[in-house]
Amino acid sequence: MAANSQPLDPASAQASQNVSHNLNGQRLGRKGRETRERIVRAAIEVLSEGNEEPFTLSAVARQATLGMSSLYNYFTDLSELMASVLEPVMTSATETWLAELADHWPDQEVTERCDRFWQSYAEFWRRHSAVLHQRNRMSDAGDERMLACRVDAGQPLMDGIARQLGSGEVHGPSDEERAMASVLATMMERTVTVQSQPNYVKYTAATLGRASSALSPAGARLLAVAVRDWRCTAAD
């Protein structure tokens, strides 16, 4: 089993437990849940292997040592399967980078908290890069379900940053704070994409050399500058 799939196993199992019937309307017993989980794990493994074979339902079926008819008992198409693969990935986000946004950062801790938050977000992308990049590829190709998954995944990032720009009071972020947070969230996602996509990694290594390792500290510093500047401006 691919190493990148290991952190997802408990969440994958839980996601399968939340499904009560297969696509034929049959209630899932233990064997059915195990088969569904096996398919999700096989999809993660196919993505994580990083070979040149296209990510298809037939490739997943081969990895899971199942016939296509068995796979179609659980997933109608690749988009539906990817949505199930993404579920445990996004569940793991609540325990990692989203946890860094749970409380309002004290002014004196903004630099440290931005660094911790950025590192946690970058590590999340590094661990799940194969799945997240596949989501983005499908989204860019016009897959509506993957576009919705991508937008839904970005919303907590934007909302969390917007709250850090504010005073930490009960009222929600302003429209201006949301706009600024949207720009900062886009900066974060684009930067970690460059850091975690193999072709981009080669490109940045060739153009930036050793400086490519400084992308995360540079991004965290810019985020901290933006948060402090916004708070100071709002206080004037």
Q: What number is the average pLDDT over the span 76-101?
A: 92
Q: Indicate the range of 30-44, 76-90, 121-135, 142-156 predicted with least confidence.
A: 30-44
Work out the percent of the chain whose per-residue pLDDT is above 70.
77
Per DSSP, the residues of 143-197 read -HHHHHHHHHHHHHHHHHHHHHHS-S-SSPPPHHHHHHHHHHHHHHHHHHHHHHS
Q: What number is the average pLDDT over the span 124-133?
A: 92
Tell me phi and psi for residue 161, to 5 degrees: -65, -40
- Would you state the pLDDT for residue 186? 94
- Backbone φ/ψ region at 27: left (φ over 0), alpha (ψ -120 to 50), beta: beta
- Would you state the pLDDT for residue 218? 92
- Would you state the pLDDT for residue 215? 82
Which residue, chain included where needed, has tokens 């390792």? 213
Per DSSP, the residues of 14-29 read HHHHT--B-TTSPBP-
Which tens digits make up the pLDDT trace of 35-61?
888 999 999 999 988 666 789 999 999
